[in-house]
Amino acid sequence: MAKHLAFCLVMLKLSIAFANVPNTLNETCLDDIDIVLQINLYKNSCPDAEPIIFSWVQNAVSQDSRMAASLLRLHFHDCFVNGCDASVLLDDTEDFIGEKTAPPNLNSLRGFEVIDAIKAELESVCPGTVSCADILATVARDSVVLAGGPSWEVEMGRKDSLVASKAAAINNIPGPNSTVPTLVAKFQNVGLSFNDMVALSGAHTMGMARCSTFSSRLHGLNGPDINLDFLETLQQLCSESDSNTKLAHLDLATPATFDNQYYVNLLSGEGLLPSDQALVTQDYQTRQLVLSYAEDPLAFFEDFKNSMLKMGSLGALTGNEGEIRRNCRIVN
């Protein structure tokens, strides 16, 4: 164990020394497992992998702008449950319970058919090469880019899990009514910091949510910062007969664009989810970060990119762990 710790320290020093060198490895020492993720991993084994993925995401988003948020969300909901291992994609069977029926995912996650289409083409071009977990990480980046947000080099090398955990999906994924302490705890439980939580919350600058997820906002339960005009708009939308399925934009101003408008909205009392508005009403530190991102979109983009890379490396299965699924919905 001492030798292993010494090796980890050496690798950490090397990674710092070569931090700006292209194709560097992201190596994390966890017990006796070395987790290695690498950019341009498929350069030789499947050179068309990223162009194929981008093409499918571009097509999906052009047909439905909301799909950018949906595909990004798949990656989030995957990584928060035992790491980024594509467990969220596994279907239930007679003898297997996946994560799709967990309350945070049921009738909420979408875009599975886009992942299926990407996987099918990749299997025809370079079979058994690109994992479903790497596909999820890449479509998340591409969705952000296509919506006008920052780009980053996706680190590859994840394997796909053989198992899933409905219980972990229920317990680990932050809910729409979460308080700031709950948000901080759930992010820290998976290895993400206070700052990561505020930066990654900015993903809510695009996408939609059902009336049922923000019902407490409808009754003005979020303190003095409530925006009455905004509240009336939501009450009108959610008073209609089909309110259970009615959707509202997380960002009314620029709903399909990845920008810093989410933080601007929070400061004017127009955060849709209670967990969003809580960032400015419940905690001084989160409010200060919201202010900084509202004032400086480039700072938000940089922090979001770095936090996405950090989240994307959580619990990655590599080496002899996991497998590369032929079909993302079932284990081989």
**C-alpha angle 29-184-156 in degrees, rounded to nearest 5:** 40
Q: What DSSP designation does 90 have?
A: P
Least Cα distance to 160 among 106, 122, 103 occurs for 122
Residue 85, marked binder: yes
To the question of whether residue 22 is assigned a binding role by annotation, the answer is: no
Residue 249 annotated in active site: no
How far out from the chain centre does Cα 288 lie?
A: 23
Query: Position 46: which residue type?
Result: C
SS3 8: helix
Q: Name the strand (E) or helix (H) holding 30.
A: strand 25-30
Q: Following CA atoms 42, 317, 312, 327 in sequence, which dihedral angle do they give, to the nearest 10 degrees?
A: 60
Answer whether 289's CB lies under 8 Å from 184's CB: no
| Residue recorded with tokens 């906002």 | 217
SS3 label, residue 69:
helix
94 appears as a binding residue in the annotation: no
- DSSP strand pairing (208-210 vs 247-249): antiparallel
Q: Is 179 annotated as a binding residue?
A: no
Is 83 annotated to bind a ligand? Reply is yes
Query: Has 101 been labeled as part of a binding site?
Result: no
Q: Which amino acid is at 2?
A: A
- Any binding-site annotation on 205? yes
C-alpha to C-alpha distance for 84 and 168, rounded to whole angstroms: 13
Backbone angles phi, psi at 98, to 5 degrees: -95, -160
Residue 191 labelled as part of a binding site: no
Is 204 annotated as contributing to ligand binding? Answer: yes
Q: Which of 121, 190, 177 is nearest to 328 (CA)?
A: 121
Catalytic option among 4, 75, 77, 249: 77
87 labeled binding residue: yes
Answer for the pair 166, 99: CB distance below 8 angstroms, yes or no: yes
State the DSSP string of 161-177: PS---HHHHHHHSPPTT
What is the C-alpha separation between 188 and 291, in angstroms, rounded? Answer: 22
Task: Please enumerate, by residue number, every residue annotated as part of a binding site for substrate.
Answer: 174
Task: Please enumerate, by residue number, every residue annotated as part of a binding site for heme b.
Answer: 204
Task: Please enumerate, by residue number, every residue annotated as part of a binding site for Ca(2+).
Answer: 78, 81, 83, 85, 87, 99, 205, 251, 254, 259
> Which active-site residues does the annotation give?
77
Task: Please enumerate, by residue number, every residue annotated as part of a binding site.
Answer: 78, 81, 83, 85, 87, 99, 174, 204-205, 251, 254, 259
